[in-house]
Amino acid sequence: MDDYDSQNRKVALTCGRGHPWGPAPLSVSCVRDHLVVHCSQPGCTETWQTDVDTLVSVLGNRAPEAAADRGSLAVMAALEAVWALVRRAREYQRDLLRASHPSAARLARLGSWIQECVTATNMILESETLAARSDEFADVAEIAAKVSVVVDTFHIYVGLLEKSRRASLGAFGVARAAPLAAVADDERVLLGCRADLRDSIGQLTAEL
C-alpha cells in the first residue's frame, strides 16, 4: 500500500512483508545520518531506512495514539539535523586549504555553519527525551565538545585576521607599506591559527 507525502512523493506504508506501519508504536532508531524503522508486528524482523519527511507523512495518517511516536520523531529529526551539519565539515575544511585567507563573505558562511552546529547540538543535549538514549546522547555530547573547540579556534583566527587587515590599511582604506619582517611574522601567526581551525573542523569529520 502506498501514499503520497506533501511533496507528492510515493511513500510505502507497509514493511517488506506487507505489515502496515501502524497503529502499534513504531520502533525508530538513528544510525549516523539516517533513520531506521523496525516493523511493529510481533515476530517480524523487517527494517528499512527512511527520512524524517517520510516518517512525518506516515505518522500524519495514523491514529491519535501516534502522538508518542511524534515526540520521539522530534528527537530523530534533531539528530538527523546534527549529522547533516557534520557532513558539511569537509566542505569548510577544504575551503581553509586555499592559498588565500577567506573573504568576509566566506568567513560569514563558515560562522553561520558553526552557529548552526552549536544550536543543533545544544537543542538535543537539553532534550529530556534524548536523555534516555544513552548511546545517541554520548555521540552528540562528543560532537558538541568538538564544536566548542571549533568555536574557539574560529574566533581566534577571525579576530587576528581582521586585526591584520585593518593594520594593512591606512587612511581612507589605502594599503600602506609595512616592514617585510613584520608582515612575514603576522602571516605565520595567521597561517598557524588557520591550520588550528582547519584541524578542529577536521575532528568533526572523524564522526562520520
Count of domains in the chain? 2
pLDDT for the residue 179: 62
Q: Residue 157's pLDDT band (boundaries 50, 70, 90)? A: very high
Angstrom distance (rounded) from CA 144 to CA 97: 24
Express as a percent the part of the chain with pLDDT over 70.
65
In a domain, 84, yes or no: no
Of 195 and 11, the one with more pLDDT:
195
User: For residues 92 and 73, which has the higher predicted lDDT (pLDDT)?
Assistant: 92
Q: Indicate if 128 and 155 belong to the same structural domain.
A: yes
Number of H helices, E strands in the chain: 7, 5
pLDDT of residue 13: 66
Domain check: are 126 and 95 in the same one? yes
Q: Do 100 and 153 have their domain in common?
A: yes
User: Is 83 a member of any domain?
Assistant: no
Q: Which three cell numbers stand for residue 122?
A: 545544544
- Write down which residue in 78, 98, 118 finishes a domain: 78
Has this prediction a pTM greater than 0.75? no
What CA–CA distance (Å, rounded) separates 58 from 93? 37
In the block, cell 538513528 appears at 30
Final residue in a domain of this structure, among 48, 78, 108: 78
At residue 166, does pLDDT exceed 70?
Answer: yes
Is residue 70 domain-shared with residue 110, that is, in the same domain? no
In 3-state terms the chain splits into helix, strand, coil percentages (rounded to 5) of 60, 10, 25
Helix axes 104-125, 67-87, angle to 10 degrees: 150
Mark which of 52, 78, 104 sits at the end of a domain. Answer: 78
* Bond from prior residue into 23 cis (ω within 30 degrees of 0): yes
Question: 187: domain range?
Answer: 89-205
pLDDT tier, 11 (very low <50, low <70, confident <90, very high otherwise): low
